Structure 1
């Protein structure tokens, strides 16, 4: 019995000593880590920068030869938009990683490792700009077509105006007040929106007709 008690005391003592030693080691390690000098930005750019570029290229599933934009002609407008967004995110990630380490955004020379992606990003923007300019322009209507369209719009405007006017009269008689809130016109909201669209298109056509 006395042996068991003694063994228990010794075991507890050893355990306490072990925990104390572990705690002491942890504190020493923490102190050594906090005393380390901050990383050098030049070294990080030289070593980590190249790795960040390689990681981004793998993530985007492109290689160095693709960054010259040779295959952009095979991509649709929507694919170019999506690719531009993905590349921009990778460039932002590089900046954020640098800022988290050094507490500031990288300078131009510190972004040098990502130059291939910046070149690729500019080519994507240029391709998108060219595609936008290549989109077919709306066909210009002839004089006869313009006159016919104006007549159609004027007729539709009159019909819509009559519907809205009648609704306004009925509303005033039922509610004993004029229309003041957006919810008041909910029963004829679609007619109201269409009336505004017709007025805008009609004004545009009439203005163009006067200039010609």
Structure 2
């Protein structure tokens, strides 16, 4: 029993001593780190800059090839805005980290490692800015199609009237309906144009219905 009590006391003492030594070691490490001079900005950019870029690319789930912006055309406007926000946050994180170390925001040359991400951000903004223009062009094209359709419908009506009048006159003169190709020779050009106009109208109406 006495040996058990003695072992317990020794174990407790050793444990306390170890914890104190560990705490003392951690305090010494903190003091040592805080006493170190701050890194040189130029050295930090050379060593840490590319690492910060790679980490940002991983978080964005893109690679350096993606930063050329070719894939942006396949994204919706909503997706582009989301991507823009994410990239902006990564660029801001770099600036914030730099400022926490050196007490100021990085200069232009100190942002050089993040250039691919800055270019990517610029391409996203350009892609977004083009979207309203695309919508305007589509609207303009639709208006042009509508105007053309109105013109064709008017021409169709005029041609239909010409053909109808010819048919009425032919029936009165010949006491029969038009049966043969030779019967329409006087208005053959008008008849061909009427068929072409009808086909073009049908095509434009189909395009408008899909727009």
CA distance in 2, matches of 1:71, 1:9: 70
Q: SS of the counterpart of 2:65?
A: helix
Residue 25 of structure 1 corresponds to 25
Distance apart, 1:26 and its partner CA: 3.8
Give deviations 1:13-32, integer Å, cap 9, x for gaps. 76665555445434433332
Change (3 A) 1:45 1:17: same
1:73 aligned to 2:69? Answer: no
Residue 60 of structure 2 corresponds to 60
Q: SS of the counterpart of 1:88?
A: helix
Change (3 A) 1:9 1:122: closer
CA distance in 2, matches of 1:110, 1:123: 21
Give deviations 1:28-66, integer Å, cap 9, x for gaps. 333322211112222221121111111111221221111
Change (3 A) 1:93 1:6: closer
Q: How many residues are treated as equivalent by the alignment? A: 140
CA distance in 2, matches of 1:120, 1:34: 37
Change (3 A) 1:35 1:71: same
CA RMSD of aligned residues (A): 2.9
1:90 aligned to 2:90? Answer: yes
CA distance in 2, matches of 1:43, 1:124: 31
Change (3 A) 1:124 1:19: closer
Unaligned runs of 5+ in 1: 141-212
Distance apart, 1:74 and its partner CA: 1.5
TM-score relative to the length of structure 1: 0.55
TM-score relative to the length of structure 2: 0.55
Segment drifting more, 28-37 vs 104-113:
28-37
Give deviations 1:60-115, integer Å, cap 9, x for gaps. 12211111111222222222122111111111111111122222111111111110
Change (3 A) 1:35 1:76: same
Q: SS of the counterpart of 1:64?
A: coil
Give the number of the structure whose alpha-carbon radius of gyration is greater.
2
CA distance in 1, matches of 2:58, 2:16: 50
Residue 154 of structure 1 corresponds to none
